[in-house]
Structure 1
Amino acid sequence: MNRAKEIVSGCNKRRAWVPLAAALVLGLSSAPNAVAETWRLEAWERMLDYSSPSRRLDHQPLDTAARPWRLCALYPHLKDSYWLSVNAGMIEQARRLGVALTVKEAGGYDHAEGQREQLKQCADGRADAIILGSVSADLHTPAIVEVGRRIPVLATVNRVRPEGVDAMAGVDWYRMGYLTGRFLAERHPKGSPMVRAALFPGPPVDGGSAGKMRGFTDALSDAAVEIAAVRYGDTGKLVQLSLIEDVLEEDPSIDYIVGAGVAAEAAVGALRARGLQGRIHVVADYFTHGVYRGIKRGHILAAPTDQPLLQGRISIDQAVRVLEGLPVPKHVGPEVILVTQDSVDGIDLGASLSPPEFKPTFGVPVPGAADGMADDRASNRHLQPNRHL
Structure 2
Amino acid sequence: MALRAGLLAPMIAVAGPALAEADWYPLAVDATDRDGNTERVDYVPLSASETASRPWQLCVSVPHMKDAFFVAANYGMVEEAKLLGVNVQTMDAGGYTRLANQISQIENCVAGGADAVLMVAIAAEGVNNLLATLEQRGIPVIDIVNGVDSDKVAARVLTSPYAEGLRAGQYLAEKHPAGGEPAKIAWLPGPAGAGFVTAFDTGFKKGIEGSAVEIVETKHGDVGKEVQARLVEDILQTHDDVDYIVGTAVMAEAAVPLLKARGIADTVKLVSVYMLPGVYEYLKTGDVEAAGVAPITLTGRIMLDQAVRVLEGKQEHFNIGTLGAVYTKESVDEMNRDEVMAPRGYRPVFNLSQ
Determine if the TM-score, normalized by the shorter chain, exceeds 0.5.
yes
State the 1:121 CA deviation. Answer: 0.8
State the 1:68 CA deviation. Answer: 1.2
Q: Does the 8 Å contact 2:131/2:150 carry over to 1?
A: no
2:115 equivalent to 1:128: yes
| Residue in structure 2 matched with residue 352 of structure 1 by the alignment | 340
Mapped to 2, the partners of 1:128 and 1:341 lie a distance apart of 44
| Residue in structure 2 matched with residue 99 of structure 1 by the alignment | 86
2:55 equivalent to 1:68: yes
> Which of 46, 69, 76 is equivalent to 1:89?
76
2:148 equivalent to 1:160: yes
Q: Deviations over 1:139-197 (max 9, x none)?
A: 11111111122221111101113432111100332221111011111111222232211
| Residue in structure 1 matched with residue 237 of structure 2 by the alignment | 249
Mapped to 2, the partners of 1:206 and 1:360 lie a distance apart of 23
Mapped to 2, the partners of 1:223 and 1:335 lie a distance apart of 24
2:158 equivalent to 1:176: no
| Residue in structure 2 matched with residue 306 of structure 1 by the alignment | 294
Structure 1 portions without partners, runs of 5+: 2-33, 368-389
Q: Does the 8 Å contact 1:116/1:140 carry over to 2?
A: yes
Larger gyration radius, structure 1 or structure 2: 1
Mapped to 2, the partners of 1:187 and 1:35 lie a distance apart of 38
2:206 equivalent to 1:218: yes
| Residue in structure 1 matched with residue 179 of structure 2 by the alignment | 191
State the 1:78 CA deviation. Answer: 0.8
Match of 2:143, SS state, is strand
Letter in 2 for 1:58: D
Mapped to 2, the partners of 1:163 and 1:121 lie a distance apart of 23
Match of 1:196, SS state, is strand
> Which of 121, 124, 127 is equivalent to 1:140?
127
State the 1:206 CA deviation. Answer: 4.8
2:45 equivalent to 1:58: no
Mapped to 2, the partners of 1:35 and 1:62 lie a distance apart of 12
Q: Does the 8 Å contact 1:156/1:311 carry over to 2?
A: no
Mapped to 1, the partners of 2:37 and 2:258 lie a distance apart of 42
| Residue in structure 1 matched with residue 305 of structure 2 by the alignment | 317
Q: Does the 8 Å contact 1:35/1:61 carry over to 2?
A: no
Match of 1:201, SS state, is strand
> Which of 249, 274, 278 is equivalent to 1:290?
278
Match of 2:174, SS state, is helix
2:223 equivalent to 1:239: no
Mapped to 1, the partners of 2:34 and 2:289 lie a distance apart of 35
Mapped to 1, the partners of 2:147 and 2:344 lie a distance apart of 28
2:249 equivalent to 1:261: yes
Q: Does the 8 Å contact 1:145/1:163 carry over to 2?
A: no
Mapped to 1, the partners of 2:303 and 2:106 lie a distance apart of 16
| Residue in structure 2 matched with residue 334 of structure 1 by the alignment | 322
Q: Deviations over 1:33-61 (max 9, x none)?
A: x97931211111227xxxx3311111210
Match of 1:253, SS state, is coil
Mapped to 2, the partners of 1:193 and 1:326 lie a distance apart of 52
* TM-score normalised by structure 1 residue count: 0.81
Task: Give me the CA root mean square deviation.
Answer: 1.7
| Residue in structure 2 matched with residue 115 of structure 1 by the alignment | 102
State the 1:346 CA deviation. Answer: 0.9
State the 1:288 CA deviation. Answer: 1.1
Percent of aligned positions that are identical: 37
